[in-house]
Structure 1
Amino acid sequence: MNISLMPDDWLIFQKDMVLVKSKSPLILPKAEDAPLFADRLLFRGELSAARGGYLWGEYPPEEELPWGFEPVGLRELWALGGDMLFQSAGTAFQFMDWQRSSRFCSRCGGPMVPADENRAFACEKCGYLSYPIITPAVIVAVTKEKKLLLARSFHFPKGRYSVLAGFVEPGESLEEAVRREIFEEVSIKVRDVTYFGSQPWPFPHSIMLGFTARWDEGEITPDGKEIEDAGWYTPETMPDMPPSNSISRQLINSWLEGVRKSNFPQDDGQ
């Protein structure tokens, strides 16, 4: 299922959840429901026509929901409505989260107000401009011969393994972030770092930048802080993997397909 927002759909959030009228079939709040929400919304906005042209708002976190509505998380909404709805809801959530985090200036503490500039808040006291936050993170499929490095984080669902990921730090390139994260988490060095693709990740405001890389040297040693277990896997020994719509699974599937077709870049083992 891949649902697109209709012109009369509203994206209403409470905390980090999206309000729906029904999960099966999936029904979002409509323009006709506006009287139930309009006077209570803490923040609201409208995205441009290029981004769908829909309305969004935040319902007070402490208030009881109007009858007939229930909250669902963004990941559950993704599973219920598909990629297009997830992208729209994720975009709206990031703008909303930025607005509620920008009520006061981070430099002087003064009140922030909407600025004339495109999607910015300005401090009434010092003039500081605040723009939406985007936090880049790298996610990497590391191969050795015909094996793929998969790891288990402490916060994963039971039995789940995935490729490694981590945030980019100030002053480093994306390729440097790849090498650092892999070494910090499992103590191996990699080479041939190659860009794969990207995916917006509204948890709460990241963008995942996918890469492939090849093992260079070292033995896998999980750091014990973020990584509980890690190892090399073949197509025949794959564990439970991330959902199919995530970039982590796209990296894994690309490797699996490449191994089967023998055209995915493989390490020569030397």
Structure 2
Amino acid sequence: MEPCTAAGKWLLFQNDLLLVKSKNPLVLPATGDEHLFLELLSVTGTLPASRGGFPWGEYPGDGELPPVFETVGLRELWTLGGEKLFQAAGTAFQMMDWKRNNRFCPRCGTAMCLTDNDRAYGCPQCEYMSYPILSPAIIVAVTREDKLLLARSPHFPKGRYSVLAGFVEPGESLEETVEREIFEEVGIRVKDVTYFGSQPWPFPHSLMLGFTARWAEGELTPDGKEIEDAGWFTPETMPEIPPSISISRRLIENWLAGNK
């Protein structure tokens, strides 16, 4: 994959939203606009070349934006700027979130200092080290013969269903997380857990690890909290599914492609 390049552009955030000069066409702040924001940024950094090498920064949350800027959510950015820019902005957002939450040592309260490579914070008092946070989570497509398990969270848009997901707990293998999450959320046991692929997910710092699995035993019993409804669907009875931004859509489309 060819990385997108900064080409004199900035990734700027305010209150977790990206600042742009125009949405359609999408125009990012440029080096020529630095007089509007550079001295006001609270945290800054630069992405690696694999993510385009963009400089990034956080504009004060209570600061009045210059009229030239408007805001865009990261999910909206996928549609406006494409996958590569979404990945770059997501990486910048995760680094920004980590930096702004690690200014002081959680052990002794001393102001933290960035290391030379800008990839860790160190405490000069107690030598505590803080590294960028990743929260691994599994997401799994479970099948039963020619049907796919889809479920609905109370937080989903009306009518939308997706595959199941959940965070890895301390001491668990990924396979154990798949088995536990499926049983806790819908009451069935699964087998043949197989790795599918992964996706960084900057909301705020997840790493989604995709799997497939097959039903082993049990009947669907939604937990009523995280899952309000669940069912087995065929290609002909599919409900509304997540947009292409997420690995959940890839898992579903992979199953659909094999069941034409």
Fold-level similarity (TM above 0.5):
yes
CA contact 2:3–2:49 (8 Å) conserved in 1? no
Q: How many residues align?
A: 259
Q: Does residue 171 in structure 1 map to residue 171 in structure 2?
A: yes
In the TM superposition, what is the alpha-carbon distance from 1:15 to its structure 2 partner?
A: 1.5
TM-score by length of 2: 0.97
Q: Percent identity?
A: 68
Cα distance in 1 between the residues matched to 2:222 and 2:16: 32
For 2:205, the equivalent position in structure 1 comes to 205
Per-residue Cα deviation, 1:194-219 (whole angstroms, up to 9, x for no partner): 00000000000001000000000001
Cα distance in 2 between the residues matched to 1:131 and 1:62: 28
| Structure 2: unaligned runs, 5 residues or longer | none
CA contact 2:5–2:51 (8 Å) conserved in 1? no
Residues 7-26 of structure 1 correspond to what in structure 2 (within 5 A)?
Answer: 7-26=7-26
Cα distance in 2 between the residues matched to 1:206 and 1:141: 19
* Counterpart amino acid of residue 258 in structure 2: G
CA contact 1:3–1:82 (8 Å) conserved in 2? no
* Counterpart amino acid of residue 28 in structure 2: L
CA contact 1:3–1:81 (8 Å) conserved in 2? no
For 2:90, the equivalent position in structure 1 comes to 90
In the TM superposition, what is the alpha-carbon distance from 1:118 to its structure 2 partner?
A: 5.4
In the TM superposition, what is the alpha-carbon distance from 1:101 to its structure 2 partner?
A: 0.6
More displaced, 160-169 or 118-127? 118-127
TM-score by length of 1: 0.93
Cα distance in 2 between the residues matched to 1:173 and 1:195: 12
Secondary structure at 2:95's aligned position in 1?
A: helix
In the TM superposition, what is the alpha-carbon distance from 1:84 to its structure 2 partner?
A: 0.3
For 1:247, the equivalent position in structure 2 comes to 247
After superposition, the Cα gap between the structure-2 partners of 1:36 and 1:205, relative to the gap in structure 1 and judged at 3 Å, is same
* Counterpart amino acid of residue 38 in structure 1: L
Residues 56-75 of structure 1 correspond to what in structure 2 (within 5 A)?
Answer: 56-75=56-75
After superposition, the Cα gap between the structure-2 partners of 1:3 and 1:15, relative to the gap in structure 1 and judged at 3 Å, is farther
CA contact 1:121–1:129 (8 Å) conserved in 2? yes
Cα distance in 2 between the residues matched to 1:6 and 1:203: 23
Q: Does residue 99 in structure 1 map to residue 99 in structure 2?
A: yes
Cα distance in 2 between the residues matched to 1:88 and 1:38: 20
For 1:265, the equivalent position in structure 2 comes to none
For 1:193, the equivalent position in structure 2 comes to 193
For 1:237, the equivalent position in structure 2 comes to 237
Per-residue Cα deviation, 1:159-212 (whole angstroms, up to 9, x for no partner): 110000000000010000000000000000000000000000000000100000
For 1:37, the equivalent position in structure 2 comes to 37
In the TM superposition, what is the alpha-carbon distance from 1:9 to its structure 2 partner?
A: 0.8
Cα distance in 1 between the residues matched to 2:4 and 2:71: 19
Secondary structure at 2:258's aligned position in 1?
A: helix
In the TM superposition, what is the alpha-carbon distance from 1:114 to its structure 2 partner?
A: 0.6
Per-residue Cα deviation, 1:30-73 (whole angstroms, up to 9, x for no partner): 11011100010000011222332110000000011111211111
Displaced runs of 4 or more, over 4 A:
none
Secondary structure at 1:45's aligned position in 2?
A: strand
Cα distance in 2 between the residues matched to 1:5 and 1:151: 38
Q: Does residue 144 in structure 1 map to residue 144 in structure 2?
A: yes
Cα distance in 2 between the residues matched to 1:102 and 1:118: 13
CA contact 2:210–2:247 (8 Å) conserved in 1? yes
Cα distance in 2 between the residues matched to 1:20 and 1:91: 17
| Structure 1: unaligned runs, 5 residues or longer | 261-270
Cα distance in 2 between the residues matched to 1:78 and 1:183: 33
